[in-house]
Every structure is written in structure tokens, then in C-alpha cells.
Amino acid sequence: MSIAQASTLDTKAGPFTAIVATDGAVLASGWTASSAELVPLISPALRPKEVREKRDLGAVSTAIRTYHAGELNAIDDIPVRQSSGEFLSHAWDVLRKVPAGEPITYSDYAALAGRPAAVRAAASACARNAAALFVPCHRVLRIGGALGGFRWGLPVKRWLLEHEAS
């Protein structure tokens, strides 16, 4: 892939940037004002040679604004493209099916992904997820409800969970 587009939007949880392929699939996203911070998260097989800043990414920008305004399912139909091994790719697909407002534990996530004993692998899928929000790794918690980790900071994760619970 040679060229992708990026846009940063102000949200209630902070600046949010998405990098999108020319066909509209999200390659990387997160609560940062820097597309340069996101590029290394993209699999080398998918990493664009150039990222051009754009004011609006169409359906992706609309989904980001709408989600943060309270329409939690706005992100569900946005295509995402990530590349890794079979388990991670499957685990990311599974994560997209976890409903807003219904967080699960890492153990539950491993079981949903078909490998109940692979709790660390499930946690790794969350940690290696380049498309935050669209692949909602923030919906996975430790047993007992502790937040666990989150690339974009625990205050953002807390905000997202509270936003989805209301």
C-alpha cells in the first residue's frame, strides 16, 4: 500500500487520530494527535509509504464523532484491516463482536476466541491491536473488574467504559 489518509478529531476523550486506506478501511487509530505515532502500529505488510493528512475521512470521521456523541454502534460497520497470525486476526474479529456496555474479562475473551487457556494470547491481541475503538480492546477487563492496561491510558479507557455504560 502506498498512500493512506489520516485525520485527527477532537473528542470528549481527547484528540483521536485515524489512518485509513484508500478503500476506507481503518489501518490504525487511537487517542493521539499524531499520525506518526500510529504508523509503527500498522503491520509492515500493510504500512503505507505515505500518510497524507486530510480534514475529513468520510464515514470513518462520521463514526468517530457519532460514537463519542453517544451512538455507540456507529463504529460497528467501519471496515478494519490488520494483519498478523491466524489467532490474532481471529481474536480481533471476535473483539469487534463484544457489545458496548458489556465488558468481558481476558479469560472470557480467550474463551470466545476459541482458546480458553490462552489468556496471555488474548491479552496480547489487545496490546497489539492497532485499530483502537473500531476493534474495542477497551472492553476487556481483568478478573474482578480492574481496568488492566490500555495503550492510550487508563483515563481514556475509564472514560470509554463509563460512556458505554450510560
Residues labelled as active-site residues: 137
Report yes or no: 71 and 78 within 8 Å, Cβ to Cβ: no
Nearest CA to 101 out of 12, 13, 11, 166 is that of 166
For residue 10, which phi and psi values (nearest 5 degrees)? Answer: -80, 130
- Which residues, 6 or more positions from 117, have their beta carbon under 8 angstroms from its beta carbon? 110
- Rounded distance between C-alpha atoms, residue 9 and residue 30, angstroms: 11
First vs last C-alpha separation in the chain = 39
Pairing state of beta strands 50-53 and 3-11?
parallel
